[in-house]
Amino acid sequence: MSTLVKICGITQPDQARQTAALGADFIGINFWPQSKRYISPSNAGWLTRLPDSTARVGVLVNPSLEEIEAISAGGLVSLIQLHGDETPAFCASLENIGLKIIKAIQVRDHLSLERIADFPVNDILLDAYHPQARGGTGDTFSWALALRFKELYPQRRLWLAGGLTPENVAEAVRRVQPFAVDVASGVEDSTPGVKNMAKIEKFIRAAQ
C-alpha cells in the first residue's frame, strides 16, 4: 500500500483547492488559536466545498468536547487530530461517539513511545518534541524511533511528521514505510500558512 500524504496548516481556500487537485489525501486545518496557522471555525466554511477525494483534518490542542462536537457537526472536517495533552480516557470518549481520531505524540526518546499503549486510538502521529510549539516547527526526530513504534504497535497506523521536506520525504517513506506522511513548514517559504505550491507538488510526487 502506498504512503498517503497530508498537507497541514493550510489557511487559504485557493491553496486548499490546488492542494487537493495535486493529489493530497488529507488537508490539515489548525483550529488551535495559538498556532501561527490558526483559522477560526467560523471562517472555514470553504472546507465543505473541497472534493471528497481529499479528507479534511481538524487539528486541535487540548480542546473541550463541545469544541470538537461543534466543528464535527458543522461538517468542516472528517477527522480530528489531537495535538495536546489529551488523556486516553478523553480519546476513548470521542471514539465512543463515533469520531475518527488521530492522536499526535511528541517524540523525545523510547519512553515517549511506551505511553502510546494506553491510548485506544488506531491512528498515531509521531512528531518532533518541542517544549512550547505543537507541530509545524520543521524539527526532526530519529526515524529509528518511528521504526521502533512499528515494532511495538504493528496493528496501528503510523503518521510520520517532523521536519519532512520535498528533499527527504522519499527517504522517509523508504525507510519507515508509514501509513501517511505529514508536512507543514516543509512546503512553505517564510510565512506560516502560506504554501509554496511547487513545493507541495514536489513533496507529493516524492512521497508517492
Classify 70 as helix, strand or coil: helix
Active site residue 91: no
Per-residue pLDDT reduced to its tens digit, 15-56: 999 999 999 999 999 999 999 999 999 999 999 999 999 999
User: Measured between alpha carbons, how far is 112 from 145 in angstroms, rounded to an integer?
Assistant: 9
Structural domains of the chain sorted by starting position, each given as residue range(s) with its CATH number in brackets? 4-207 (3.20.20.70)
* Catalytic member of 25, 91, 127, 182: 127
* Catalytic member of 8, 25, 91, 182: 8
Active site residue 8: yes
Q: Give the model's pLDDT for residue 129.
A: 61
- On the 0-12 / 13-18 / 19+ scale of CB atoms within 10 A, 84 is middle
Q: Which of 54, 52, 53 is nearest to 26 (CA)?
A: 54
- The answer to whether 123 touches 135, Cβ cutoff 8 Å, is no
Q: Lowest mean pLDDT of 9-13, 23-27, 71-75, name the range.
A: 71-75
Q: Provide the whole-model pTM.
A: 0.93
Q: Give the model's pLDDT for residue 140.
A: 75
Per-residue pLDDT reduced to its tens digit, 81-125: 999 999 999 999 999 989 999 999 999 888 889 989 999 999 999
138 pLDDT tier (thresholds 50, 70, 90): low
Q: Which residues contact 89 (CB under 8 A, 6 or more apart)?
A: none
Q: Which of 114, 118, 126, 78 is nearest to 98 (CA)?
A: 78
Q: Which residues contact 81 (CB under 8 A, 6 or more apart)?
A: 28, 57, 58, 59, 60, 101, 102, 103, 104, 125
Q: Quote the radius of gyration of the chain (alpha carbons, Å).
A: 16
